[in-house]
Amino acid sequence: MNWFVNTAKGIAIGAGAILPGISSGVLCVIFGIYETLLDRILHFFHNIKENSKFLFPLVFGGFLGVLLFSRILSYALSTFPLQTQSIFIGLILASIPSLKKQVEQKSTFHWSFALFFLIALGIGIASVFLEKTLVLQEISHISFLHLFICGFFMSVGIVVPGVSSTIILMLLGVYSTYLTSVSQLYLPVLVPMGIGLLIGGLLWMNVTKFLLDHFYGQTFWSIIGFTLGSVFVLFPVIPDVLGGIICILCVILGFAIFHLFSS
C-alpha cells in the first residue's frame, strides 16, 4: 500500500515541476516527506536497500507525473480551474497545522521565527504577482550551456518549497521550449537541462539540509511561509454563489485528500 501511495505522491510532485503556480517542494512538504526525502537522497549510499525502497516509487511516479499526468492536471487546470485550484488550496491549508506541529516538536518557537515566516510569505506572494504579470519572449537559439544553466536554476524551484520553477524558466526564456520538449521527449533540450538539474538539485539539497540542521526553526518557518504564500497563485476567480459553494466543497475535498496521503 505504501508503494502505491508514494507512487501517487511522486506523480503529483513530478507534475508540480512543470505546472504554473505549483511547486514540487511545496508538494513534498504537504505530503510530509520533505526532510525524509532530503536525508534519503543525500545519504543514499549509507543504506542503499532501504533508501531505494523509499525513493523508487517516488522517482517512478515523478517520471509519470512529468511525462503523462501533468497533461491531465494541465487540462484540469484549464478546463475546471475553479475546482482544481480549490482542491490544491485545500491541500495546502490542510498541511499548515501539521507543519506547525512538526516544527514545534524540534524547535521552541521564538518571536524572530515570525519574522522569517512573514518575509517568506511576502516573497511567496510577490512571486505570484510576478508570475501573473511576467510576459517574456522565448529565446529562439539556445546553446547547451544555456540549457545547462536553466536546469541548474530550475532545481531551486524543485528543491526549495514555494519557489516557482515556472518563473525561473520564464525569466531565462525557455519555459515554452521546456514544455514542448517534455511532451515530445526532445533529448537535445532535456539532456543538458537534466544534467544542470541534477547538479543544482544536489547543491541546493545540501544547502537546505545544512540550514535545517543548524537553523531548524528559522528555516522551517520560512518553508511554512513559502508554502502558505503559494495559496495566492492558486486562488480562483469565483463567478457566483454556486461557484463559491463549489469552491468550498473542493477545498474540503483537498483537506480529505491531504489526510488520505499523509496517513
Q: pLDDT of 86-98, one tens digit each?
A: 888 888 888 788 7
User: Highest mean pLDDT range out of 31-35, 71-75, 125-129, 189-193?
Assistant: 189-193
HSE at residue 138, side-chain half, CA atoms within 13 A, is 11
- Is the pLDDT confidence value at 200 over 70? yes
- Is the pLDDT confidence value at 151 over 60? yes
**Rounded CA separation 71/75 (Å):** 6
Give per-residue pLDDT as tens, 16-60: 776 665 667 777 877 778 888 999 999 888 889 889 999 999 989
Residue 134: strand, helix, or coil = coil
The Cα-based distances of 254 to 163, 243, 248, 251 in angstroms read 21, 16, 10, 5
pLDDT of residue 196: 95
CB 58 within 8 A of CB 10: yes
Across the chain, mean pLDDT equals 82
The pLDDT-based confidence of 191 (bands split at 50, 70, 90) is very high
- Is the pLDDT confidence value at 15 over 80? no
CB 57 within 8 A of CB 7: yes
Query: What domain range includes position 126?
Result: 2-262
250: nearest Cα among 64, 134, 81: 81
- Is the pLDDT confidence value at 135 over 60? no
- Is the pLDDT confidence value at 128 over 70? no
pLDDT of residue 134: 55
Q: For the chain, what's the residue count? A: 263
Average pLDDT over residues 190-198: 93
pLDDT of residue 197: 92
The pLDDT-based confidence of 199 (bands split at 50, 70, 90) is very high
Element holding 59 (H helix, E strand):
helix 48-64
Q: What percent of the chain shows pLDDT beyond 70?
A: 87
Task: Write down the pTM of the prediction.
Answer: 0.72
Domains in the chain, number: 1
* C-alpha cell belonging to residue 3: 508503494
pLDDT of residue 248: 93
